[in-house]
Amino acid sequence: MRRLLTGNEAVARGVWEAGAGYAAAYPGTPSTEILENIAMYDKKDITAEWAPNEKVAVESSLGASMAGIRSFVSMKCVGVNASADPWMCMSYSGCNAGMVIAVADEPGQQSSGQTAQDNRTFFKFAKYPFFEPSDSQEAKDMVKEAFRISEASDTAVAVRLTTRVCHSKTIVELEDRQEYEPRNYERNPAKYVPVPGHSPALLEKVMSKADRLREYSENTPFNREEIYDTKIGIICSGVSYCYAKEVFGENASYLKIGFLNPIPMNKIRAFAQKVDKLYIIEETDPIIEDEVRLAGIPCHGKDVLPKTGELLPDVLREKILGVEIPKVDVDRGKILPRPPMLCSGCPHRGFFYELGKLKNVMVSSDIGCYTLAWGEPFHTGDAGICMGSSLSVGHGFKKGMDKKNGNTKVVSVLGDSTFLHTGVQSLMTAVYNNSDTVNVILDNRITAMTGQQENPSSGLTAQGDAAVETDIPALCRALGVKHIVTVNPNDLPAVRTALKEALAREGEGPSVIITRWPCVLKKLSQADKEEFPSLYADKYDIDKDKCIGCKQCLKVGCPAITFNSETKTAEINDDCKGCTVCCQVCPKQAMYIKEARA
Amino acid sequence: MTKSVLLVGVGGQGTITASKLLTLGLLESGYDVKMNEIHGMSQRGGSVSSDVRYNDTGKVHSPVISLGGADILVSFEEMEALRWCDYVKPEGAIIVSTERIAGLPIMTGRMEYPEGIVDELKKVAKTVLAIDGPAEAEKIGNSRVTNVILLGVIVKYMGLENIDWHKIIRENIKPAFIDLNIKAFELGKTLLDR
């Protein structure tokens, strides 16, 4: 059956068709939908889990593989950084049943940002063979082949995706699930315990594996030539192959590299001899190119192509063919920016409105929807480096301030899911090494930024089963935090008081403020409905006779509020969710309930 | 020959649904199809786009439309049409629904929604059709079917009437809304002749 699938859906299908029985991931754009789709298959076939972070996901998956079940992990590009520890040692140990790790890089940094790191560099460093699909069909085929190679070579195998492969839909031929006979588990510390007595031998084994994989790399149909016109030869990988074919068609010949590490150098040498001029097109780093140059084969690559961003057809046309990009003559002043913003009814709004009013405070932020509060209109977010970093950067900042007798206070903010990802240890250092920081956990009862995934404190598993909830206040108490307060973030006086009291404390160590209110997009559970009975109850409007046009309500940055420049009054549109934050900032109490919840 | 349809708008407007129906119809007709979408922060009011490319005889290579490469640009929001106008072929068409959605700088009162956008669009492409999508949709009873009206416009302009779109709608829309969406689709097909 032919279906149009995104690369992410195709990877999930490939995992299922390969007979895998265990998958784990932490959500991250553009990889999130892989595990979401795996979770839709029958639980009897495959267990799909949200792990608290990528390190845990990789380790759990290794455990499942050791037990004899084919296992899978997916993550976004920076997830590799968070899980580098098991990656490195696992390349020595290898695995038992096939293990595949899909990593979704983001060369254009379109939606997630953070970094444009090319994880192929990491795979080489950590000694992993990897596949690089160019479309959804290949994504599925390569995942299945990766499981086979994993078992044949006793190593986990990586699959490198990029945003365009993850989020493009292309045609895929579906196949049935292969029944997989689980492998036996045999105790083998010499393989899985890398002490000095074992490690050198394990490294030797890794090197001999590489020799065998070199032969595979030379012979696999995933590294294939397409010979047309030979004036231009193009070596390309991943979606760059599609872009090159779009631009050059049959006016060039291609060597498409779908499997790497080791590189098929004999194949490359043979191809180079058939063409007059050789280009290497790959996103982002010159991984193939460096090796080709080292082998003494003349080629062009990053000398003509950009070193950052995507190598879209327009880029190839301009840089290789010298074709000028057409620009239309229109008044671009009419194109106003449309930055992403907190949704109407977002429970972060009230908190950041109050936080933004404070002076002489360094706001150490983190990765989540609340990162958006760095900009207009709140301007709360001095830093947001990586998952869980807020509390530790805030801790160090306060220590630095203390050292130089500075008086800037610190408020560190992160979400429930980010706290559980890697924020717990950061709070631990704030307690253990004793900093007077205010640590805020924005608990919106879900992993929101990536599109509503469950987490250890949300009460459900990835496959919809009831789960024990991590009790965040109890966890903070157990770490040794003395002052913990939970507030409703839509209650501005309560937020104000909590911040004021926490900032006034000196010499009592870190305090924690938990704002507890569900994400406005969350599909509410029965427990949510019981805990938050007044949730998003009413729709509001503004009494035009009372409104004095002071624009105070616009400062909460809500998509439901606009200013009518003709009547000089603010207006609330149908998008209102009834959070009441604007009602609390209006000096004239001009808001009224337009539509009460039945 | 590969044809390109670019759908743009603001998160939550239904661009994804329209492009999904379009690709399903093309797939069923045996065409090669690729669709690309950028939707990372779409739920948070950002600009969204969806590239649909198809070929009735050969293969589609790039899932991404090039500058000056779209046969038709369909914008669900007025200003977004201008943001994406570099992607339309000069001999192509721009269909713009004149719904206005304020972005953050407008909401906070720092900027005003720009006027004269449709006039700017006329400098870009041979065919420009501006319609009040939600108002057209309201005429048949539900402002939320703007996306299927625009699907009708695309089908007519691209000459894809040989595909059984009613069947695609019936198979992919909730039963209660099938008749409404078929009406919206048929209305869309007539708009280019106005």
Residue found by looking up tokens 């553009």 in the block: A30
How far does CA B72 lie from the centroid of its chain?
A: 9
Express each pLDDT in B169-186 by its tens digit: 999 999 999 999 999 999
Question: What are the CA-CA distances from residue B80 to residues B11, B124, B194 (Å)?
Answer: 11, 14, 23
How many domains, chain B?
1
> What are the strands of the beta sheet with A168-173, ordered from one edge?
A2-6, A168-173, B32-38, B47-55, B2-10, B70-75, B88-97, B127-131
Partners of residue B43 in chain A, C-beta under 8 Å: 343, 451, 521
Interface test mutation site (partner B, options A1, A111, A325, A335, max chain B beta carbons within 10 A): A335
Partners of residue A170 in chain B, C-beta under 8 Å: 33-35, 60, 63
φ/ψ of residue A200, rounded to 5? -60, -40
Q: Which domain covers residue B74, as residue numbers? A: 2-193
Find, among A349, A390, A398, the residue nearest to A367 by Cα. Answer: A390
Query: What's the average model confidence in pLDDT over B130-146?
Result: 90
| Shortest alpha-carbon distance between residue B87 and chain A (Å) | 9
Question: A350 burial class (0-12, 13-18, 19+ CB within 10 angstroms)?
Answer: buried
Amino acid at A461: T
Left, alpha or beta for A575 (phi > 0: left; psi -120 to 50: alpha)? alpha
In a domain, residue A494? The reply is yes
- Provide the number of CB pairs (under 8 Å) joining chain A to chain B: 161
Whether residues A135 and B63 touch (CB distance < 8 A) is answered with yes
Task: Looking at A295-332, list the stretches that DSSP marks H as alpha helix, in order from N- to C-terminal side.
Answer: 313-321
Question: Do residue A210 and residue A236 come from a single domain?
Answer: no
Q: How far apart, in whole angstroms, are the C-alpha atoms of residue A92 and residue A202?
A: 5
Question: Residue A571 maps to which CATH number?
Answer: 3.30.70.20
How far does CA B31 lie from the centroid of its chain?
A: 20
Whether residues A169 and B33 touch (CB distance < 8 A) is answered with yes
> What is the dihedral sign for C-alpha A48, A52, A54, A55?
negative
In a domain, residue A341? The reply is no
In a domain, residue A392? The reply is yes
The pLDDT assigned to B108 comes to 76
Q: How far apart, in whole angstroms, are the C-alpha atoms of residue A60 and residue A276?
A: 50
| Helix A136-153 with A199-219: angle, nearest 10 deg | 140
> Which segments in chain A show pLDDT lower than 50?
none
- Closest CB from B27, B66, B108 relative to A314: B66
Question: Do residue A269 and residue A367 come from a single domain?
Answer: no
Task: Looking at A194-286, list the stretches that DSSP marks H as alpha helix, in order from N- to C-terminal side.
Answer: 199-219, 240-248, 265-274
Partners of residue B34 in chain A, C-beta under 8 Å: 135, 168-170
Q: How far apart, in whole angstroms, are the C-alpha atoms of residue A107 and residue A163?
A: 7
The pLDDT assigned to A283 comes to 96
Whether residues A317 and B35 touch (CB distance < 8 A) is answered with no
Question: Do residue A74 and residue A209 come from a single domain?
Answer: yes
Find, among A376, A354, A359, the residue nearest to A585 by Cα. Answer: A354
The pLDDT assigned to A108 comes to 86
Banded pLDDT at B43 (limits 50, 70, 90): low
Whether residues A246 and B111 touch (CB distance < 8 A) is answered with no
Question: Do residue A38 and residue A146 come from a single domain?
Answer: yes
Q: Which of A55-69, A525-539, B80-94, B111-125 shows the lowest per-residue confidence on average (mean pLDDT)?
A: A525-539
Question: Do residue A229 and residue A214 come from a single domain?
Answer: no
Q: How far apart, in whole angstroms, are the C-alpha atoms of residue A511 and residue A438?
A: 5
Left, alpha or beta for A445 (phi > 0: left; psi -120 to 50: alpha)? left
Whether residues A246 and B61 touch (CB distance < 8 A) is answered with yes
The pLDDT assigned to B102 comes to 87
Question: Do residue A374 and residue A478 come from a single domain?
Answer: yes
**What's the mean pLDDT when you consider all of chain A?**
95
Banded pLDDT at B16 (limits 50, 70, 90): confident
Question: Do residue A204 and residue A78 come from a single domain?
Answer: yes
In a domain, residue A338? The reply is no
> What is the dihedral sign for C-alpha B180, B183, B187, B189?
positive
Beta-carbon count within 10 A of A16 CB = 25
Question: Residue A155 maps to which CATH number?
Answer: 3.40.50.970
Asked if pLDDT for residue B42 goes beyond 70, the answer is: no
Find, among A349, A86, A94, the residue nearest to A201 by Cα. Answer: A94
Q: How far apart, in whole angstroms, are the C-alpha atoms of residue A384 and residue A371?
A: 7
Banded pLDDT at B39 (limits 50, 70, 90): low
Q: What percent of chain B has pLDDT over 70?
A: 97
In a domain, residue A215? The reply is yes
Q: How far apart, in whole angstroms, are the C-alpha atoms of residue B175 and residue B169?
A: 10
Kindly compute the dihedral angle of the four CA atoms of residues A194, A197, A198, A203, in this order, to the nearest 10 degrees. Answer: 100
In a domain, residue A342? The reply is no
Interface test mutation site (partner B, options A329, A330, A554, A576, max chain B beta carbons within 10 A): A330
| Shortest alpha-carbon distance between residue A396 and chain B (Å) | 31
In a domain, residue A327? The reply is no
- Closest CB from A169, A335, A342 relative to B35: A169
Whether residues B34 and A563 touch (CB distance < 8 A) is answered with no
Question: Do residue A10 and residue A30 come from a single domain?
Answer: yes
Residue found by looking up tokens 């953070």 in the block: A114
How many domains, chain A?
4
Q: Which domain covers residue A272, as residue numbers? A: 223-321
Question: Do residue A265 and residue A388 come from a single domain?
Answer: no
Banded pLDDT at B14 (limits 50, 70, 90): confident
Query: What's the average model confidence in pLDDT over B155-162?
Result: 96
Question: Do residue A354 and residue A299 come from a single domain?
Answer: no
Q: How far apart, in whole angstroms, are the C-alpha atoms of residue B180 and residue B148?
A: 10
Question: Residue B123 maps to which CATH number?
Answer: 3.40.920.10
In a domain, residue A337? The reply is no
| Shortest alpha-carbon distance between residue A9 and chain B (Å) | 14
Structure tokens at A128: 């992993």
Whether residues B86 and A239 touch (CB distance < 8 A) is answered with no
Find, among A200, A190, A182, A213, the residue nearest to A66 by Cα. Answer: A182
Please name the residue of chain B whose CA is at the shortest distance from the CA of residue A113. B40
The pLDDT assigned to A400 comes to 98
Please name the residue of chain B whose CA is at the shortest distance from the CA of residue A450. B40
Interior angle at CA A72, CA A71 and CA A73, nearest 5:
140
Q: How far apart, in whole angstroms, are the C-alpha atoms of residue A80 and residue A61?
A: 14
The pLDDT assigned to A41 comes to 98
Give the DSSP letter string of A43-68: TTT-EEEE-SSHHHHHHHHHHHHHHT
Q: pTM value? A: 0.96
Find, among A55, A4, A54, A11, the residue nearest to A36 by Cα. Answer: A11
